[in-house]
Structure 1
Amino acid sequence: MNYKIEIKRVDTVDELEGYWSNDDLIQLLEKFNYPDGATADKSSLFELLQMAISDYEPSEAAEIALAHKLSEELNEGQIQQIAHNMLIDKVCEEYPEIPLQGRLYHVNQLLFKAYNGTFPNAKASVVYFSMTAEEADAAKILTRENVLKLLNTGLSDRNLIKRLFDDQMTQNIPFPEAEGIIWELITEDNVNYTLVTSENWINREDFTDFQFESELEEIAEEA
């Protein structure tokens, strides 16, 4: 099926609002030895957490925050290693387990702001675009995999996704990594979309065209 695609805007941000719930913040405040978070003004929770975090050594704070978000996927030794590496590198861009990169980004930025730059500043991209099927009666709901394959035509060959996953982007084969590469995919009408990912995966300079056409083939199911 053919689609007409328009890239409307690409924003680069160092924080994605709404990721940390009030429950997250209250739990983290307790872990950072501030037990009164549950009774504090909800609008002040994030500021209180940043102050509480700054009372700890950076590597220790990183371990606490990482354990809160990733203890089900990572063991204690892995968390300690990541906490150490986060002070030196943008681990959220380099970590080999792609599905964890989004959560690592949010932890990194929480720590970056709490310590006023001690941690590297990672960036995210928010891409606003439309994908319109040329067939008037088309009603396909696009997945993250579909969206990346359709964006391929407008992306430069320098783009990291194209360089690492050329076969998945250009051939009629599954692309499971797309679920981790795209952190959020939002649409209310299945035409206009907002995509959130790491600046490392997609940034404004990656687009060679902002209006283009692309074809999406149905992936053949194995017999």
Structure 2
Amino acid sequence: MKYKIEIENIEIVDEIEKYWTNDDYVKLLGKFDYPDGSEADKDSLKDLLFMAISDFEPREAAAIVLEYKLSEQLSDGQIQQISSDMLIDKVCEEYREIGLHSTLFHINQLLFKAYNGKFPNAKATIINCKISPLESETNDLLSKENVLKLFANGLSDSNIINRLFDQAMHFNATFPEAEDILWDLESTDNLNFKITTSEYWLGKEDVLSSEFEGVLEEVKEEV
């Protein structure tokens, strides 16, 4: 089925608002030796956390936040290695497990702001767009995989998704990685969408036009 994709705007940001909650700030304050966070004014929690974090060495602080968010996914050794690597590289773009990129981004940016730039500055991309069927009305809900495949014709050949996942993007092959490449896909009407991902995967310069068409074919399951 053919669809028309209309890009309304693309925003590059260094923080996803509302990812970190007041409860996160209170719990992290406790881990950074500030036990009275629950009694603090809610509007000051973030600033208090940044002050508490700054009393620790950057690598140690990174390990604490990584343990808080990813202790179930990473071993102690992996946490120590990543906490060291984060000071040098954008681990949230380079780590081999794509499924951790989103969380690593949020951790990286919290530390980047707490230390005023000692950590690399990573960016996220937010795309607002309209995706409408051209051939007939449909009630089929578009998934992350569907949306990425529909974007194939509108992205440059140099785009990293096109290069790494050419078969999945341009042919009727399964694309399980799409679930992790797109961090969030929001829509209330299955027509207007808000897409959140890493600038590493999809930047402004990757989108060739504000309007283009895409085709969804029935995916052939691998045997």
Relative to the length of structure 1, the TM-score reads: 0.97
Q: CA deviation at 1:136?
A: 4.1
Q: Which residue of 1 aligns with 2:87?
A: 87
Which whole-Å deviations, capped at 9, do the CAs of 1:113-157 have from their partners, x for residues lacking one?
Answer: 000000000011111111001244311101100000000110000
Count the aligned residue pairs. 223
Confirm whether residue 56 of structure 1 aligns to residue 56 of structure 2.
yes
Letter aligned with residue 30 of structure 1 = G
Q: Which residue of 1 aligns with 2:105?
A: 105
Q: Would the aligned equivalents of 2:174 and 2:221 in 1 still touch at CA under 8 Å? A: no
Could you list the structure 1 runs, at least 4 aligned residues long, displaced by more than 6 angstroms after superposition: none
Which whole-Å deviations, capped at 9, do the CAs of 1:152-193 have from their partners, x for residues lacking one?
Answer: 110000101001110111111111111111111111111111
Q: Which residue of 2 aligns with 1:10?
A: 10
Instruction: Describe how 1:1-223 pairs up with structure 2 within 5 A.
Output: 1-221=1-221
Distance in 2, Cα, partners of 1:47 & 1:189: 38
Letter aligned with residue 22 of structure 1 = N
Distance in 2, Cα, partners of 1:40 & 1:52: 13
Superposed CA RMSD:
1.1
Q: Would the aligned equivalents of 2:173 and 2:221 in 1 still touch at CA under 8 Å? A: no
Distance in 2, Cα, partners of 1:41 & 1:188: 34
Which whole-Å deviations, capped at 9, do the CAs of 1:51-80 have from their partners, x for residues lacking one?
Answer: 110010000000000111111000000000
Q: CA deviation at 1:221?
A: 4.5
Over the matched positions of the two proteins, sequence identity in percent amounts to 57
Q: CA deviation at 1:112?
A: 0.3
Which whole-Å deviations, capped at 9, do the CAs of 1:14-57 have from their partners, x for residues lacking one?
Answer: 11110011211111110001111111111211111111100100
Q: Would the aligned equivalents of 2:15 and 2:123 in 1 still touch at CA under 8 Å? A: yes
Structure 1: runs of 5 or more not aligned: none
Moved more, 44-53 or 107-116: 44-53
Structure 2: runs of 5 or more not aligned: none
